[in-house]
Each structure stands twice: as structure tokens, then as C-alpha cells.
Amino acid sequence: MSAVEIQSDERAAAGLRPWWKGACIYQVYPRSFADSNGDGIGDLPGLTARLDHIASLGVDAVWISPFFRSPMADFGYDVSDYCDVDPVFGTLADFDALVKRARTLDLRIIVDQVYSHTSDQHAWFRESRESRDNPKADWYVWADPKPDGSPPNNWQSVFSGPAWTWDARRGQYYMHNFLSAQPQLNLHNREVQQAILDVMTFWLDRGVDGFRLDAVSFMMHDRALTDNPPRPASDTRKRTRPFDFQRHVHNQSQPEIVGFLKRMRALADRYGERYLVAEIDREHADAEMKAFTEGDSLLQSAYGFTYLYADRLDAGLVRAASEIWPGEAGEGWPSWTFSNHDAPRAVSRWLEGRDPAAFARMSLLLLACLRGNIFLYQGEELGLPQADVAFENLQDPEAIANWPLTLGRDGARTPMPWCEDSPFCGFGEAAPWLPHDERHQALAVSVQEADPDSTLNWTRRVTALRRSRAALRDGAIRFRDAAEPLLVFERGEGDAALLCAFNLGHDSASWRLPEGWRVIERVNAGGGDETLAPLEGLIAERA
């Protein structure tokens, strides 16, 4: 029996922690991972063929971004059928084969689910928009215009313009927090909730081990449709979209979300140890992550955009993020990611002119030392920088709409470079949907496999260390006093505790390993006994 097949009751009887607690989870953006059929788009068979690479990293699970039927207005985050695979990615049989292969590699499979909205091509919406009295008339958020014909309120969509689009068939506006092609589900409606639970059941029955829940903050709206207040002038964050001018207190983050999450957790628990992790919008992230994971009846974990949208990495950021989760009784479990499909890659975002390979390795070690689950985004194990994508090659609707003020997401979504001397870097036999960045060719998997000192092999070393030390997987975290740019903290308790120290700055900094400790891992060494070099990091155990 593989580790994946050991059920929760057996793990509990053996005194084992839940498999997901402290897990390292690898995120795959399937469109850009591996193309098996030569159409320029990654697919499920391509992912299955590359699962050995993922398993070699020593991760616990694979999170797969949406691969469901979709017109691809937002590249799969606009779902037209939750219970089928889009033909561009393969078939349900291909998904079943992927799960089967993952089991042989002791990998668990987590699928992305988008429950706040669907595509406007979904059968539910097509029926809903036909009239005001059909069986699904109340499955989406519809509202009458104001007397002057304008939208019902001032809510703005994330990507551009009002969060309302007129539909002449019903003589009403429908709501959309994102693209107009992504109408908002009315999750206040219990029938809609049940339909979503049926979707979860479909995938749980197919063997998935959990769900990454997209845009949970947007699941429910204020039914009174109250106007959002303006963002105060004292808030100096950059404003590039109408969305940025408001405080989003009524179009999202409603207290009724908690009740629906309880129904989701109760369903998942019937299948044993399943893992539910929420993506939380940044405006109310701290409070919502705690509220949505409290106790044993809600989600196990949540993550926000603390690191993903941070302009720089420093000790203050790490401390502030960790202090959201002090480890109190009944508290949920955090998850962290430095890069993903929605944000520029961390190596570029935080580099500040320093050596990219050194920064990539230091950040990987730091991520592995954080208390909580950690996500590795595809290509992060290679130290890939953000790709440069020319305007004429952009695919991301947000980037196109807000060019050039919004960097967009395409630069983090370019195809994986597998082999430096193959056409299209081994991604497939045809030109991919987004072009490769030339800098990625030299960082291809084939190049790094042959170099024992590569970022790829460093990643394997770091994940193996995290997996072997309980202190790193689920131990407590305590910060030690240290002046910027130093970051020093302990993980775990007593003799099993580990000491972690990092210099996040540009210059050497004075620091000495305390008496009674010995280094077990070090990156970018060069500071000697009295200092830490720039981007140096280490882990020490009690001597």
C-alpha cells in the first residue's frame, strides 16, 4: 500500500499527522506544462508523462489549475462544464490515468475549483438568462437597473469597468466580479450550493485528494446591493483600474460564506483525509483566512497575496505574515506561496539587481523553513525569471486591457523549458501558445539535471530536508531579535528545534551562530564565522 492510500483513520491510529499538514505542493498550470499532441497547448497526458519529474522533487501533492470545459476567455477560470475535461486538455479517461499514475509515485492530486462564477456559456447561465421565472432564474446575481437605466450600484469588476452587464432578454443586469463572460453565481441560493456540492462529489469519486478553491472571498455578495465606499485618499497603493478606487466590503467577503464552507468540509470529510485550501483576496485576507479555517468544521488552510503582491522580500514581511498565524487553539493552518500563475515570478519581483541563481536558492530555502504548507509553482524549482512577453503576444485579458500599467500574468505562464537543444525547449512539437523566453533555455530541466549544483538539485535537497524534519513540517515558529536585513527564527521545540538565519539584504551583515548549534544546511555561504553574506541562509540544529 502506498503512502497515498493510507486512510485518515489508519494515520490517526499510527499517530501520524494528516498528510496535508506541512505538505509541499507543486502547482501545475497545465496549459504551459507539457504538450503531448503537438497543438501548442499543454495537456493532461503531457502532465502524466512528466509526473516523474514532479515526484523527483520530493513534493507531497500536485495542484492542477483548471482543465475543465471552458471557452477560455480567462483560460479555464471561466468554466462551462465542471464535470468534464476541455478537449484541449484531453478527456476524463486521461484524468483517470493521471490519478492512477500519481498513486504509483505517492503523489496526491488537488484540483482547482472555481465556485464564485461560471462561464456565460455554462448551461446554468444560458437557462438563467432566458427569463425571470425559469427554474434557474435565481442561480446568478440579477438586478434591475436604476430609474435612469444605469447599473444597480457602483461595484467595479477586477479586470475593468462596472461589475454589471445588461442582458436584454431579462431586461436586467447580471453581476460579474471579473470578466463579463464570468457571471456571478448566486451562492445564497441553496439549490446552487447543492449543485456545487454535486460537482465536488463528482471529483471526489474520481479520486482527488483535495481542492484549491479559487476566489473564495467573492463567493457571496451583499443581497441589498449596497454601494461600496471609496478607498480613502490615505491609501497610497497604486490605482490602475476602477476596481482599485473602492473598498470591497459589499461585493465580496460576506459572513454567509462560512456556512457554505461548512457544507463543503462536511462533504469532503466523508471521503477521509481530503484537503481544502482557499485563495483569499488581499483586502480582507488576514481576517478571512482565520475565519474560513477556524475549528474542525471549516477549511483546513488558506493563503492570501501577502508574498505574491509584495514588492520586496524583507524580514518585516516574513514576520508580519507569520504572526497572522500564532498557533492558537482552534486556529487553521497557513499556506504560503512566493510565485504562482497570477503574479510575476518572485525571482524577478524581489531580485533588486542581485544574482538570480543565488536569490532563487535562498528563497527556496526560506520557503521550506516557513511554518505552514508551501506551494512550489512550476519552474520555481529551476529559478525561472519572469518571462518578457511582447504586447503582440499577450493572451491575458487583464494585461491587454490595462497595458502597460498592469504587468499581467502571461510572463509567469510561459511554457516549461524541458530540454535546451530541442525545438520549443522540449515543450512539444509545435510553437506554444505563449513564446519561450530565451533566458529560460539555459535553465531547462535537461541542463540542470546534469549539474549537481543546479537550482533544480538544490530544490530536491531542500524538500528532502523539510520532509525529514518534523520541526520544519509542522513545528512552531519563534522569531529572534535581529536587525534588518537579517531574519532569524527557530522552528520546533526542545532538542529537536532548528535555528534558521537569512541575510535578505545586499551587503554582508554581522551575525554569529550561537553556542550550542551546528549548521546542517547552508546556501550562498561566504560570510565566515562573524557575518552572513548577502543572500546567505542557513539551518542549524543543537550540537
Q: Which amino acids are annotated catalytic? A: 214, 279
Peptide bond before 151: cis, by omega within 30 degrees of 0? no
Q: Lay out the sheet containing 164-167: strands in order across.
A: 142-143, 172-175, 164-167
What is the DSSP pairing of strand 301-303 with strand 509-510?
unpaired
Copy the grid coordinates of residue 371.
511554518
Cα distances (Å, whole numbers) of residue 424 to 41, 48, 432, 435, 444: 12, 19, 7, 8, 11
* DSSP state letter for 80: S
Sequence-ordered alpha helix ranges (H) in 140-282: 190-205, 257-269
Contact 331, 339 (CB under 8 A): no
d(CA 203, CA 211): 9
Q: Are strands 486-491 and 531-532 parallel, antiparallel or unpaired?
A: unpaired
The pairing of strands 68-69 and 142-143 is unpaired
C-alpha–C-alpha distance, residues 480 and 489, integer Å: 5
Closest CA to 274 of 181, 200, 195: 200
Angle at 232 between CA 226 and CA 235, to 5 degrees: 130
Decide: 192 and 152 in contact? Cβ < 8 Å. Answer: no
* Distances, alpha carbon 365 to alpha carbons 296, 344, 362, 441, 534, in Å: 31, 20, 5, 24, 14
Residue 504: partners with Cβ closer than 8 Å, 6 or more residues away? 313, 314, 315, 362, 484, 485, 486, 487, 535
